[in-house]
Amino acid sequence: MQCFDGQCRVVCLGAGYDTLPMRLARDRVKPEVWVDIDMSQNAEEREGLMGTTLARGFIDTPVQWHFNIGHDLRKGLPELPGSPDLPTLFIAECLFMYLEPKYTGLILAQIAMMRRTCIVTYDAFNPNDGFGKIMIRNLKQRGLSLEGVLGCPTLEDQRDRLSKAGFKVTAARDCKDLFDNHIDKEAKETASRKVMIDEWEQFNMLIVHYCCTFGDNGTGVMLL
């Protein structure tokens, strides 16, 4: 957003109750348009939360640039507010792991076809080792089906999924790699204090089961 001096759009898929746009805006970092998409009921609740407690005191006029859309993403992307010429960053945090791969493929292909887009995802993966199997079993017992994890189990699969959808530049890294090699010491210390990590062995085991991916549709959004 800083690269584009705010002249860009961010679309968060399966936004849940994430307050990121408000937190960024509090720090005076905001795009021209921010769109949060989730199922209708969640989007309505989110609207209420954002409109009252969260936004109040954080920023002055969230409605001018922030949009909540209630929409089932299994139908593909809805029509998005903002100019299609704006470079657009899509964020999907813990969404694709719950969706059947055919729906994820459809959404990714739609994004890749748009004018100037890139996507960052964060999801569970690596379900086939001992820890991964327990993770899947435990979540299943809680009624959560992880078709997206089973359908895209390795980092290579995660990258392939982006390439097949039409992204020209792709990357996938597990969170241990990101934590160990791509986060500066200060940020690591802050994170460690916040989550009180005292069992490093368990933490390391967990974070090799989460990954971030990146895709750019080749129009140079992230290649400034």
Ligand X SMILES: C[S@@+](CC[C@H](N)C(=O)[O-])C[C@H]1O[C@@H](n2cnc3c(N)ncnc32)[C@H](O)[C@@H]1O
List interacting residues with ligand X (CB under 6 A).
Answer: 14-16, 18, 38-39, 42, 72-74, 93-95, 98
Nearest residue to ligand X, using CB? 16
- Tell whether 73 is in a known binding site: yes
- Tell whether 14 is in a known binding site: yes
Token pair for residue 36? 């949060």
- Tell whether 105 is in a known binding site: no
CB of 104 to ligand X, least distance (A): 10
Nearer to ligand X by Cβ, of 169 and 207: the residue is 207
CB of 185 to ligand X, least distance (A): 25
- Tell whether 72 is in a known binding site: yes
Nearer to ligand X by Cβ, of 59 and 146: the residue is 146
Nearer to ligand X by Cβ, of 94 and 155: the residue is 94
* Helix 155-165 with 101-113: angle, nearest 10 deg: 50
Question: Are the CB atoms for 183 and 192 separated by under 8 Å?
Answer: no
CB of 152 to ligand X, least distance (A): 16
**Backbone phi and psi for residue 49, each to the nearest 5 degrees, phi listed first:** -65, -50
Nearer to ligand X by Cβ, of 44 and 199: the residue is 44
User: Dihedral sign, CA of 197, 199, 205, 209?
Assistant: negative
Distance of CA 169 to the CA centre of its chain: 17
Measure the CA–CA gap between 88 and 170, rounded to whole angstroms: 16
CB of 188 to ligand X, least distance (A): 20
Contacts 24+ apart (CB under 8 A), 50-57: 50/19, 50/22, 54/19, 54/22, 55/22
Annotated binding site for S-adenosyl-L-methionine: 14, 72-73, 93
Annotated binding site: 14, 72-73, 93
